[in-house]
Amino acid sequence: MSPFVLTREALLQPWRLWTCHALQFGWTHALLNLGALAVPAALVRPRVWPRMALALLVLAPVLGLAILLHLGDAEYRGASGLACAAWALAGVHLARARESRMEGLVLLGLLSAKLLAEIVAGATFLPGGPGWVSLPAAHRWGAALGVVGSPLLAAGEGRKPKA
């Protein structure tokens, strides 16, 4: 077992709360998560990207702790929870802005539909592959943390550059 995946040992080895999100179950898993992360990044302005990256860095260990509640003796790796956080961060951020309100509401609507479908079906959209097990709770926690953390994207928005 990798010393970087999320397991109960994360309480004694806290780096796992961050590193588990970078580890994937293979190239397909990594590409799906990168694609999911690219959607909100493409919708927000490039000047928001550093704040979004910082917000995800701050939310990653909190998400890791939340995932531990659902993990049992299993292990977690993947960025799908962080991708859901990014969708929520960007969705709330865009919905607050007059010029991009519709994009934000669509992003939040699609995320909500995904989460609701997972709750109703009791499984994720993608069943995984060999050794790849999806954890719907990571998606719900990621989305919730993204909404709660969305003020991090607004920090510094109203400041005018110094002359």
Distance of CA 77 to the CA centre of its chain: 13
Let me know if residue 29 belongs to a domain: yes
Give the chain's domain count.
Answer: 1
pLDDT score for 102: 94
Answer yes or no: is pLDDT of 128 > 70: no
Let me know if residue 9 belongs to a domain: no
Answer yes or no: is pLDDT of 160 > 90: no
Rounded-to-integer distance, Cα 131 and Cα 128, Å: 8
pTM attached to this predicted model: 0.89
Range of the domain at 113: 14-126+134-153
Residue 6 confidence class, pLDDT cut points 50, 70, 90: confident
Q: What is the pLDDT of residues 14-28, one digit of tens each?
A: 888 898 888 888 888
Let me know if residue 94 belongs to a domain: yes
Sign of the CA dihedral with 64 first, then 65, 71, and 75 last: positive
Q: What is the pLDDT of residues 34-55, one digit of tens each?
A: 999 999 999 999 999 999 999 9
Answer yes or no: is pLDDT of 125 > 80: no
Let me know if residue 162 belongs to a domain: no
Let me know if residue 7 belongs to a domain: no
Q: What is the pLDDT of residues 75-87, one digit of tens each?
A: 888 899 999 999 9
Sign of the CA dihedral with 98 first, then 159, 88, and 36 last: positive
Q: Three-class SS of residue 76?
A: strand
Hey, what's the torsion of the CAs at 69, 75, 78, 83, to 10 degrees?
Answer: -10
Let me know if residue 161 belongs to a domain: no
pLDDT score for 11: 84
Average pLDDT, the chain: 87
Let me know if residue 41 belongs to a domain: yes
Let me know if residue 113 belongs to a domain: yes
pLDDT score for 3: 81
Task: Report whether 96 contacts 157 (CB < 8 A).
Answer: no
Answer yes or no: is pLDDT of 147 > 90: yes
